[in-house]
Amino acid sequence: MFTGIIQTIGQIESALPAGEDVKLNIACAGLGMQDLNIGDSIAVNGVCLTVVDFSDTHFDAHVSKETLSVTTGLDGSHAVNLEKALRLNDRLGGHLVSGHVDGVGAVVFFEQLGDCWKLDVRAPHAIAKYIAIKGSIGVNGVSLTVNSIHNDVFSMNLIPHTLENTTLKSLKQNSLVNLEVDQIARYVERMMLWAEEND
């Protein structure tokens, strides 16, 4: 589990084919690797990946064909948001994030409005029903609050701190982003369906 509070910006330095999968080498200076072990999880642009090797400044992760098919941004060299897995005694500054991406969205608007920036993203229709005003959503691993939603397009405001400390500052129209909806919405839907099926 993660919080959506990005700990550092890393850089995918190589993305090498491994059969139908990909092996990533990611520079992660500033993440703090002293408490890391092989097999631990790190969220990379919101995608939970398993560490298969690491040093003080880099780690390797193996990305499956399935993960590649439902995410974006894990197949080339570029900056990525990084967050180590949540510990039980950590502060939960964002919201509970699993690192299991629900879909890939597309930026439709990203412009500065006063001190903040307004970000509008079109979500896949299948997951738009889980997005609620004042609810939380993960965008490339960053915990954000939804200000409004109309059909499949939802809007958020990004404060300067978020822009300075994440890769969201590099977004532009038509950029693709990994989206993870709030888990509570999925559980509520499942409970309602179960109740209907067992009436």
Give the list of residues 6+ apart from residue 11 with CB closer than 8 angstroms, or none.
26, 27, 77, 78, 79, 80
CB 45, CB 83: distance < 8 Å = no
CB 101, CB 142: distance < 8 Å = no
**CA 127 → CA 32, 56, 63, 78, 106, distances in Å?**
34, 38, 23, 27, 13
Give the list of residues 6+ apart from residue 196 with CB closer than 8 angstroms, or none.
none
Please check the confidence at residue 88 and state whether its pLDDT lies above 90.
Answer: no
What was the pLDDT predicted at 193?
Answer: 85
CA atoms within 13 A on the CB side of 105: 32
Residues 97-110 pLDDT 10s: 999 999 999 999 99
Report percent pLDDT > 70 for the chain: 100
Q: What is the largest CA-CA distance in the chain?
A: 56
Q: Which domains does the chain have, with CATH numbers?
A: 8-84 (2.40.30.20), 103-191 (2.40.30.20)
Residues 60-81 pLDDT 10s: 999 999 999 999 999 889 999 9
Query: Confidence class of residue 95 from pLDDT cuts 50, 70 and 90?
Result: confident
Residues 119-155 pLDDT 10s: 999 999 999 999 999 999 999 999 999 999 999 999 9
What was the pLDDT predicted at 169?
Answer: 96
Task: Write out the two tokens for 148.
Answer: 């409004």
- DSSP string computed for 88-111: TTS---S--B-S---EEEEEEEEE
Measured distance CA(122)–CA(174) in Å, rounded? 9
Helix/strand/coil for 39: coil
Closest CA to 31 of 81, 75, 68, 76: 81
Buried b (16+ CB within 10 A) or exposed e, 28-65: beebebeebeeeebbbbbbbbbebeebeeebbbbebee
Residues 175-184 pLDDT 10s: 999 999 988 8
